[in-house]
Amino acid sequence: MITAALPQLSTGPKLAWNEKGVHVFRLLPPGDIEHKPLSFTNATPMFPKATDIIVVNKRPWHYAGGTLRPHDHALHEDFPETVLQLCRAQGNRAVWWSEEPLEITSIKKSDLDLTDGGPYPFTNLETEVVEDDLGRKLHIVRSSVPKPEADGHKYKIVFTIGGEPIDPDMSCNP
């Protein structure tokens, strides 16, 4: 097992009660971590949530079951909490944020969606740059509440961070 210290993570942007924050950050661990379990030290009070996206070697990973795991279909089956769930009735909005420039380039049907796929799920995405409590710049993309037509569909969110394309999953529910 390789142990990596988390970078000094931001506490993130201020979220409204109905917003679900997804921290996107890159981890540069010591040595090659491919096919090796990775855990974090308690070097920082901010631990990643299961839906947070940790980019390692240009691939998305999630912290689930006490270790960092590659983003794949088996992960979502074994750890369904790694898929961002937005509930329209609760007015949920996604808030993707990073200490690095972050841009959502597309939102499309996920391979996890066994239906014919739903429409584009949002009426709009808002982008902003704000400062956190320590004065660090945060790059933020906020979604609208999902459209009713998106209920029951799963989506692949494709974005770039540091010029690297990444594509995690999201699910919309009534």
**Interatomic CA distance for residues 117 and 168, integer angstroms:** 16
DSSP character string of 77-122: HH-GGGSEEEEGGGT-EEEEEESS-EEEEEEEE-TT--SS------
Measured torsion, CA atoms of residues 44, 45, 47, 52, in degrees rounded to the nearest 10: -100
In a domain, 12, yes or no: no
Structure-block tokens of residue 154: 């799963």
In a domain, 11, yes or no: no
Residue 1's pLDDT is 46
Residue 77 predicted with pLDDT over 70: yes
In a domain, 9, yes or no: no
Q: Which stretch of 83-87, 90-94, 111-115, 170-174 has the lowest confidence by average pLDDT?
A: 170-174
In a domain, 8, yes or no: no
Domain that holds residue 146: 17-173
Mean pLDDT of the chain, nearest integer: 82
Residue 58 predicted with pLDDT over 60: yes
Residue 6 predicted with pLDDT over 50: yes
In a domain, 7, yes or no: no
Collect all residues with Cβ–Cβ distance below 8 Å to 145 and sequence separation of at least 6. 18, 86, 88, 91, 92, 93
- Number of domains making up the chain: 1
| Side-chain half-sphere exposure of 58, counting CA atoms within 13 A | 3
Q: Give the other-Cβ count within 10 Å of 102's Cβ.
A: 21
In a domain, 2, yes or no: no
Q: List % helix, strand, coil for the chain (3-state, nearest 5).
A: 10, 45, 50
In a domain, 39, yes or no: yes
Residue 61 predicted with pLDDT over 90: no
Q: Which of 4, 57, 8 is nearest to 30 (CA)?
A: 4
Print burial letters for 32-49: b (CB count within 10 Å at least 16), e (below 16): ebeeeebebeeeeeeebb
Confidence of residue 44 (pLDDT cuts 50, 70, 90): very low
Residue 170 predicted with pLDDT over 80: no
In a domain, 116, yes or no: yes
Residue 144 predicted with pLDDT over 90: yes
Q: What global pTM score does this model have? A: 0.84
- Quick check: 62 and 71 in contact, CB under 8 A? yes
